[in-house]
Each structure stands twice: as C-alpha cells, then as structure tokens.
Structure 1
Amino acid sequence: MSARTAVREEEEDLTGMATTRPPTTNRLFGIQIDAVTRDEAVGRVGDWLAAPWPGRCRYVVTPNVDHVLKLRGDSGFRTAYDEADLVIVDGWPIRSVSPLLGVQVPETIPGSDFVPWLLDDHQARGRRLRVFLLGAAEGVAEEAALRIEERWPCADVVGTLSPPWRFERDEALCERICRRVTETAPDLLVLGLGAPKQEIFAQRYQHQLGAKVALCVGATIDFLAGSKRRAPPLVRQLRLEWLYRSLSEPRRLGRRYLAGIVQFPLLVARELVERHRR
C-alpha cells in the first residue's frame, strides 16, 4: 500500500463516509500517477468536497512535460508531488509514451478543463460549492468569479486573492494568505500560481488551509476570466495547444516548450533504459 493510499483510507475512516475507490497508481518518470478517467477523477474530488473537512486540505496536481522536467532538479516540487492526493496527467505527450513504458494512462485530464468539469458535475447534481480563487494578476480572479457564478449558479465564489510577486518567500505573508482563505470556509480552492509555486504552497500549508480540496491548475483562473484564450477546439484535438500558447505568449512559454521538445525524448529514452535494467 502506498503512503498516499494509506492517508486516503485513514481520512475516510475518520469521516465515516463511503467514497469512490482509490485509483490504481502507476510509477512513471518518478511520479506516482493515478490511472483514472475524467469521470473517475471528478467523482473522487466530488466525494472529498461532499465529506467533512479531514483536518487538512487535500490537493490535486496535474503533471505535464514541464513538470516532469522541473521535478528532476527541485526537491520541494518532488515532495509536493509525493504527498499529493490525486495526480492526473495533463500533458498528452506523457500519455502517448506511457504504453511504450509499460504504463496505462486512461486519458489526459487537463487542469484547465478539470475545473469546469467539476463545476458541471456539481451543477448537474444540484450541489452547492463554495470556491476561493487564489492567483492570476490583479483583477483577473474577480472577473473569473463573476463569470463562474453566472455560468454555474451552484457556485458561490467566497473569496479571491492575487498574491504579490515572490510572496512564497515570505512565510508570514503565506500564513496570512492561509488565514484569509480559511476565514471564508471554502470547499474548493483553485490555485493559479504557476508551477512549482502552487504545488509547493499546497503541500507546505495543507494543514493551515481551511479548504477541503485545492486544485493546482496554472492558468485556469485566467482562462475562466477570459484574460487568456484557450486554443480553439480543433487545435486542441490536433494536440497543438502547446504551439498555440507558445505563439500567444512567446516570451513566457516559448523557451519552456522548446526545452520540452529537446529534453523530453531524452528523458523517455532514459526511462526505457532504466526499465530494461530492472
């Protein structure tokens, strides 16, 4: 039994609530990835949101190629991944090479899609949901809140906050942010701080955040606000969203995607060699 599975079962015993069966995990690129479909992941998080607060904020991470590369040289980021409650594959390159590496990933679950899917599920079930938006530039989360409440009447956005630059280096400020979140008693905390800040923040302050679940989902708040545009559906179907985004934000994302194109095949080759040796 993995450490993450043990924590899940212990917390579920404490809440006394029957929940969706913990998903199977597969190790890939040093990450314990949960082999779940979109519906299973939504159901799992929905169970957590319906249960009493377990004494800490559960959190979900969404690995893509950029995360896989950063994890190799960032111990704090790796700790955050090791302790995450649900790890769902965001990037299609990871899923596409998984059969080659002897691992089955049912489907990709982009973080920017997961929040709308979760809200759709709550809307369909008639469940209320208290939401806090933490991240994005000044004013963006407020616009996202308006659009969320308009599209999903089940959602009540109880708070928004755009932390200042390098806030993560100030522990006192981080603790004040935790108190601000906790005072609003949200069910769901949407973290749009960018990787690895959002994952490390969720892991480090999981016992001080009064939310039931945190989703580490990057630019999702910007997408919900309309301040950044998702690639058109056809572009996404062709698996070219990375190209669309790199052209939209060349300074911020161009180098990142170029590094992935160069380094990810080498990482796959190394993984193949290591698996062959084992």
Structure 2
Amino acid sequence: MSNSIEMFGITIHKFSMNGALDVLQEWLQFGSNDCKYVVTPNVDHIVQLENNAALKQAYNHAAMVVADGKPVVLASRLLGKALPETIPGSDLVPNIFTRFQQKKLPLKVYLLGAMPGVGEIAAANIKAQWPVVDVVGILSPDFGFEKDSEYCDRICKSIADSNADLLVIGLGAPKQEIWVEKHVHKLPVKVALCVGATIDFLAGNKPRAPMWMRKVGLEWLHRMCSEPKRLARRYMVGAIVFPKLLIKEWLKD
C-alpha cells in the first residue's frame, strides 16, 4: 500500500474509515490465512515508540497502520502530510461487523483479551447486533501470559482450532502489538486487529465517550475520568512528550 506517510519514525497509511474497511473486507473475504495484523497509533504509542524497540519492530511488520487519535491526525496536517481522519480501533471493529452484516457475509471472530467473563458478554452483544458474525473463540489470558512460551503456544493453537477469520486482540499497548508480531506465524487467521479496550466497549463493560467528545478529540478526557488511576499518568506523559516529538519531527522535515 503506497498511499502512506512517514512520521515519527513509522509508516502510517492514508486511509479514510471506508477505505480501510474496503481493504479489510477484501483481506477477510479473499485473503489467505497468513495473518495480516493492524495497529492503530495514538499519542501513547508514539511516545512509547521512541524507546521500545520491540514495539517499533511490531509497527514495521504491520500490514496496516491507521491513526487512532486526533493529535496524530492534527500533527500530520501541521507537517503537511495530512491524514484524512482518525480510525480508532474501537470504531473499526464494529464498523467491520456492520459492513459484513449489511452485505450478509459470514464472519468468524476470535476475541482475545479483557477480564474473565467480559468476552462472553461481548459475544452475546455481537450476536444480537450483527447476526452474521460468529464468535468462535473467547480467551482472557492470565496476567503475565506473554512471558510463558508454552501458554502462548496453547493460545495460538486455540485460535488455529477455532478457524476464525478475524482475531480481535484487546490486551493493551504495547503488549498486544509485540505479542502478535512475535506469534504471527502461528496464527492462521486472515486479519488480526490490535484494538485495546474494544472488547470491553463491545461488552458495555466500559462506556464510550459521548459522540460530541469523540468528534472534537476529547475521548481521551472521558477515558481518563473513567479510569484515572490507570490512565492519568499516561495522558500526562503524553501531553508533555508528544509536543516535543512533534517539534523534533517538524525541525527534521
């Protein structure tokens, strides 16, 4: 995919939401099971990419990279490399389901991540809203699972045995990106999406920000107020470091 920009040391594809959905639909309908994985950079990812070589490698090997977060899109415009719009993972997943539902195309999905029991609620909600989508596997891995190679192999076997087309990974960054890059050769799915809290959102376990906050780029504020202990420091670091990285990028260009 040549329609891309280089920014903050990574390649980001210049897709609209519909453009990304067109490509993903083609991969899911007609692609082979060689696992093309998708990552969605936001401010936190950009900050981590500076010092995390494993995350950088995962980004380099991703089949699709689309911007999650208004600051990344605004930065692209300031640098004269305008990205069309944000494509948050939390919107991308339900939009894929809606696309397949509208076209009455079957889709088999595996949900990896979130706390125990959340995936089951998400699966019930998915079936109620998008009947063509069949959740064929659900797994909430143990804390620290990524350090246990045998456990990771069992996860990969479970995903393979499910015959899923789409793997939705909600493990949080950078764990989800690093894990999928390391195990991609053992994942015979067509597409894997690294999408953070999306399984929680699908379950209704965590509330999405109101639409007006999403449109003006304030979803981060809603999330921080919902989970201040977990997210306040992350957003504070991002608010300090990201402008410095933007200035560095502007001076480089």
Scaled to the shorter chain, the TM-score interval is over 0.9
* 1:23 and 1:35 in contact (8 A); partners too: no
Q: Report the alpha carbon displacement of residue 202 of structure 1 after superposing the two structures with TM.
A: 1.2
Amino acid at match of 1:51: F
Partner of 1:270: helix, strand, or coil?
helix
User: In the alignment, does 2:215 pair up with 1:237?
Assistant: yes
Q: Report the alpha carbon displacement of residue 23 of structure 1 after superposing the two structures with TM.
A: 4.9
1:221-254 CA deviation, whole Å, 9 max, x = no partner? Answer: 0000011000111222232111111111001000
| Structure 1 consecutive aligned stretches of length 4 or more whose deviation exceeds 3 Å | none
User: In the alignment, does 2:115 pair up with 1:137?
Assistant: yes
Partner of 2:186: helix, strand, or coil?
coil
- Corresponding residue of 1:18: none
Amino acid at match of 2:142: P
- Corresponding residue of 2:44: 66
- Corresponding residue of 2:173: 195
CA distance in 1, matches of 2:219, 2:170: 19
- Corresponding residue of 2:141: 163
- Corresponding residue of 1:40: 19
Q: TM-score w.r.t. structure 2 length? A: 0.98
CA distance in 2, matches of 1:206, 1:236: 32
CA distance in 1, matches of 2:217, 2:72: 12
Task: Pick the aligned partner of 2:160 from 166, 182, 202.
Answer: 182
- Corresponding residue of 1:128: 106
Of structures 1 and 2, the one with the larger relative CO (CA 8 A, separation 6+) is 2
Amino acid at match of 2:191: V
CA distance in 2, matches of 1:228, 1:50: 31
Task: Calculate percent identity across the aligned residue pairs.
Answer: 48
Task: Pick the aligned partner of 1:115 from 93, 104, 113.
Answer: 93
Amino acid at match of 1:156: D
Q: How many residues align?
A: 253
Task: Kindly report which structure 2 residues correspond to 1:195-234, keeping only aligned pairs within 5 A, or say none.
Answer: 195-234=173-212
* 2:168 and 2:194 in contact (8 A); partners too: yes
Q: TM-score w.r.t. structure 1 length? A: 0.89
User: In the alignment, does 2:76 pair up with 1:98?
Assistant: yes
Q: Report the alpha carbon displacement of residue 273 of structure 1 after superposing the two structures with TM.
A: 1.2
Over aligned residues, Cα RMSD in angstroms?
0.9
